[in-house]
Structure 1
Amino acid sequence: MENPDASRLTGAVQELASQVVSALSGGDHSEAVCRPAGAPGDEGLGLAAIRVLGADVLLPGVMSGRTPNAEDLAALEKAVVTFPPAPDAAPTSVWSHWAMTRALLEQGTSAVASSAQVQEPDTVWLDRAPWQLLTHQLAVLGALCVPGTDCGVARAARHRPVDVARGFVRAVRRRDWLQAAGAGRWLAVLDGVPTTLGLDAGLEFVSFMGGTDPRVTLHVRAAQLLRAGTRV
């Protein structure tokens, strides 16, 4: 039986991703994408959705070169405070939280983000990962892939472009469109990607096949913009 809470969270994440995609696709980038933060009396659901999508809630501002919307910054900060990673949290959760905190610090608007809080987690777990796991983890951490990205996760990806390309192909063959889109986002910024991969066509195919999930569309659109080196 499907967990109703999990289903509601999935719906909230998809709705939030749709708002980000709308802004990336030519909407008003000054508009907040994190509204409403949740249904009346259910703000926690909206904040949980922000925590899942992570720093990508600021992506329209980041990709346009403008300061992100103040409402989005405030909502992201609240999600950071409300959902810190547990002591035994998975590395991807720790890194996602780090990315959110760093994004707030870079905007200079956060009362909770400090230099100590944005010290990078380690990447030993990623450096030693087989290519299948590497691709999966990079896809989960797609929100770290933004213009000028430079962190441990990005450096790990840069050292293994062929492995990420292999993972992209594997995800497509397995019809795992979300993983393929996330991997494609990283491939858009990596040097040494095999030209035989046909990344542009691959991204279009992933968008066509998996576009009913706005999270897929978000990653594909981000990848296309990164690959073109354009601002939205």
Structure 2
Amino acid sequence: MDQSGTSSLLKDAVRDLATGVASALRSGGHGQVSGDAPALAAADGLAPAAVRVLGADFLLPHTLLGTRPTPTELTLFRQAVEAYPPRADSAPAVLWSHWAMTRTLSRLTPPGPGSTTDSETTTAPEPGADWLDAADWRALTHQLAVLAPLAVPGEENAVSRAARGRPVDVARGFVRAVRRRDWTQAAGAGRWLTVIEGVPDTLGLDAGLDFVELMAGGDPQIDLQVRAARLMLLGALV
């Protein structure tokens, strides 16, 4: 299959997985997040690549709602982690995305027989985040939107600390993304704004998220972000 055909199939696989995750968030974490991923994996080997695109958000319903991933979901997630390790020269966002996946895998993998730890999977040390400290508010918002899978309650790492330290800048970036009709960035920034304090009351985040969802036209990856943001905004978590 040519490269363009493979790219199209991968995009379809990512959309399918994102739809499954958004549906599971809507149903309280009781739906299967993987959609048709097992069939895709058997046919084309695209499912692990699609999971890598979603990153830690593939298991987000289980992270937020305290449900347990199925063995199939965990196997697929682990395959994505192992099949696509970052290169030494990878961009910081890629390093952080992979780190978030290993952390999620560690948290959600049940302990093996005789294990006394929460998981037999270990999380690698955090990558550096100095580049975020030096970023202006536009670049900060862009990078945080890319790293939206790290925006979960109670997460303590250098990226979340950078976001918590600049709530006004993130709010400003959210407004700019909405005005520019960059719905992907707006959804990611909006998600971060639900897990940091000091967000200006005048922002109108609830209405902003409604507008982003409406204008995004049913894009499942944006739907995933908005649904996650609403859950966290409402505190409807275990």
Return the TM-score normalized by structure 2. 0.89
Match of 2:34 in 1: 33
Query: Residue type of the partner of 1:80?
Result: V
Match of 1:195 in 2: 201
Partners of 2:29 and 2:54 in 1: CA distance: 20
Partner of 1:118, secondary structure, is coil
Partner of 1:201, secondary structure, is helix
1:123–1:152 contact (8 Å) kept in structure 2: yes
2:17–2:37 contact (8 Å) kept in structure 1: no
Partner of 1:19, secondary structure, is helix
Partners of 2:9 and 2:176 in 1: CA distance: 30
Match status 1:52 vs 2:53: yes
Query: Residue type of the partner of 2:121?
Result: A
Match of 1:6 in 2: 7
Query: Residue type of the partner of 2:57?
Result: D
Q: Tell me the alpha carbon deviations over residues 64-94 of structure 1, each in whole angstroms, 9 at most, x when there is no partner.
A: 2122222211111110110001111111111
Partners of 1:141 and 1:32 in 2: CA distance: 20
Query: Residue type of the partner of 1:140?
Result: V
Q: How many residues align?
A: 228
Partners of 1:27 and 1:192 in 2: CA distance: 28
Match of 2:121 in 1: 113
Q: Quote how far apart the aligned CAs of 1:211 are.
A: 3.9
Match status 1:17 vs 2:18: yes
Partners of 2:121 and 2:36 in 1: CA distance: 22
1:207–1:216 contact (8 Å) kept in structure 2: yes
Query: Residue type of the partner of 1:11?
Result: D
Q: 1:26–1:226: structure 2 CA closer, same or farther, 3 Å change rule?
A: same
Q: Quote how far apart the aligned CAs of 1:28 are.
A: 6.0
1:134-149 equivalences in 2 (<5 Å): 134-149=140-155
Query: Residue type of the partner of 1:79?
Result: A
Which piece of structure 1 moves more, 24-33 or 220-229?
Answer: 24-33
Match of 2:96 in 1: 95
Return the match for 1:218 from 220, 224, 227.
Answer: 224
Match status 1:227 vs 2:233: yes
Q: Quote how far apart the aligned CAs of 1:35 are.
A: 4.1
Match status 1:42 vs 2:44: yes
Match of 1:81 in 2: 82
| Structure 2 gaps, min length 5 | 112-118
Query: Residue type of the partner of 2:24?
Result: A
Q: Quote how far apart the aligned CAs of 1:60 are.
A: 1.3
Identical amino acids, percent of aligned pairs: 54
Partners of 1:139 and 1:74 in 2: CA distance: 27
Match of 1:130 in 2: 136
2:28–2:65 contact (8 Å) kept in structure 1: no
Match status 1:173 vs 2:179: yes
Partners of 2:57 and 2:10 in 1: CA distance: 17
